[in-house]
Amino acid sequence: MLMTHYMELLASNQPWNLLIFMALPVVLAETVAITELYILYTRKFDTWVRQVNRIASILVGITFVGIIAYLMFTAVIPITSAGAWRTWIDVVAVSTYLIGGVPMVLLALQELGLIHRAESEERRLARHATYVAVFLVFAHIAMVAGMMDPGILGYVAPAESHDMMNHH
């Protein structure tokens, strides 16, 4: 079975790529999502749950700044320059993964008081929940697209393959 670059990235350099590009950001984002539900339900803004939510929001945003920057220069630009995308599903998998990081960066910026600071707590909470929801949608699109075999869409591996992701 052939792999998208997304899946190849996660499968390469075990277990480090899986931990850095999947486990760490997903655990942090899921922590934000779970604590977000508690905050939305109780409207308690001065609990340890809110502190966990705030810390996880900042950490996941910082994590995605690093991931996006790293993958743009070590994967997206070289793959695009080489014309090495493995059909449109490969582009969807990688781009939705990277785009999904943007709302996480916005969460961090909000928690650091760099954006939306003049808005009410309710409005900021609504934005926070929206950012989490947008992330979840893009992350799931990336995972589903990333697991697809690009061969189904006609991709044929070159005879002498030079994997863009193997050096990670």
Residue 109 CB-half CA count within 13 A: 13
Distance between CA 117 and CA 54 in Å, rounded? 14
pLDDT at 168: 42
pLDDT score at 121: 87
- Give the pLDDT means over successive 10-residue stretches in the chain (168 positions): 92 94 95 95 93 98 98 96 96 97 98 96 92 96 96 87 51
Domain boundaries, the chain: 5-151
69, 60, 141: which is closest to 105 by C-alpha? 60
Please tell me the predicted confidence (pLDDT) of residue 159: 76
pLDDT of residue 1: 84
CA angle 108, 113, 118 (to 5 degrees): 130
- Position 8 scores a pLDDT of 93
pLDDT of residue 161: 54
Distance of alpha carbon 168 from alpha carbon 158, whole angstroms: 20
Please tell me the predicted confidence (pLDDT) of residue 167: 47
